């Protein structure tokens, strides 16, 4: 084989390898661009989806409601409940167990009851529904309507990261409760209570929250690793009252 022929074949192989590398790079870049487009379009379609139907709650009187708390702040027992508004166990706790605790201990002045924000279920999601629900609930609290908004969120729970708590629906919930929409939308848009929400998250981690709901009686976790029953909470409260 002549020297010129060998050189020509070598050049061809070099050019072929260069072309293969270029195609590989283009495939990687194209795949990344496609993935990004899917994420963006997914967020767009969810954000542009119609509000849809939802249940409007009937507001009720909450004992000594103040922000995200209820009851006498000087009560001998304090209950802190860390929750995520997308959490199905939190919905069950709110609709079944919480009322029993309020009736037995908060209305009687024995317990100061505090809701704590623990939005973590959308940490790997582009929709951020837990974060935005927490944001919206704090804006409702700013108008003295946290517990009504809390009820709206759990009454209309339909799943995690399904668009059920889209920004449009969160705003519609506020409008249905006849909040001052100018104030609500300004608060919601600027995420005014982000620092307070993050402080709750940090407190939950420090106290040893294990998912949601995590219930603490005078700083001690109740029934860790599962949804506490009313009997679990009652035993913890009575133990504190009898000290």
The pLDDT of residue 39: 40
> 7 versus 216: which is more confidently predicted?
216
Domain residues of the chain, as ranges? Answer: 1-48, 69-241
> 43 versus 239: which is more confidently predicted?
239
Tens of pLDDT along 56-111? 999 999 999 999 999 999 999 999 999 999 999 999 999 999 999 999 999 999 99
Cα 179 off chain centre by: 21
* Distance in angstroms between the alpha carbons of the first and the last residue of the chain: 100
| Token pair 């009937």 in the structure block, residue | 58
Model confidence, pTM = 0.79
Determine the topology of domain 69-241 in CATH: Glutaredoxin (3.40.30)
- Cα-based distances in Å from 169 to 36, 119, 128, 136: 25, 18, 13, 10
Cα–Cα distance between 151 and 10 in angstroms, integer?
Answer: 74
Tens of pLDDT along 1-48? 555 555 556 666 666 666 666 665 555 655 555 544 444 434 444 444
Q: Is residue 49 scored above 80 in pLDDT? A: no
């Amino acid at each position: 084989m002549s020297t010129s022929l060998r050189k020509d074949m070598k050049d061809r192989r070099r050019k072929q390898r260069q072309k293969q590398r270029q195609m590989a790079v283009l495939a990687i870049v194209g795949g990344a661009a496609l993935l990004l487009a899917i994420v963006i379009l997914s967020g767009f379609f969810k954000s542009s989806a119609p509000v849809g139907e939802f249940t409007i709650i009937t507001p009720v009187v909450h004992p000594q409601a103040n922000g995200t708390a209820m009851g006498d702040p000087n009560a001998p027992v304090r209950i802190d409940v860390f929750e995520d508004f997308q959490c199905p166990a939190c919905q069950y706790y709110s609709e079944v167990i919480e009322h029993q605790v309020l009736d037995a201990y908060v209305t009687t002045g024995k317990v100061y009851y505090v809701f704590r924000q623990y939005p973590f279920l959308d940490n790997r999601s582009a929709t951020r529904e837990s974060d935005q629900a927490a944001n919206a609930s704090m804006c409702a609290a700013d108008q003295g309507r946290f517990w009504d908004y809390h009820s709206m969120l759990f009454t209309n729970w339909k799943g995690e990261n399904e668009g059920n708590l889209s920004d449009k629906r969160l705003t519609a919930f506020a409008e249905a409760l006849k909040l001052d929409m100018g104030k609500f939308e300004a608060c919601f848009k600027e995420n005014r209570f982000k620092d307070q929400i993050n402080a709750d998250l940090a407190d939950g981690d420090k106290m040893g929250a294990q998912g949601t709901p995590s219930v603490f009686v005078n700083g001690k976790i109740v029934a860790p690793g599962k949804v506490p029953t009313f009997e679990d909470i009652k035993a913890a409260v009575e133990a504190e009252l009898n000290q």
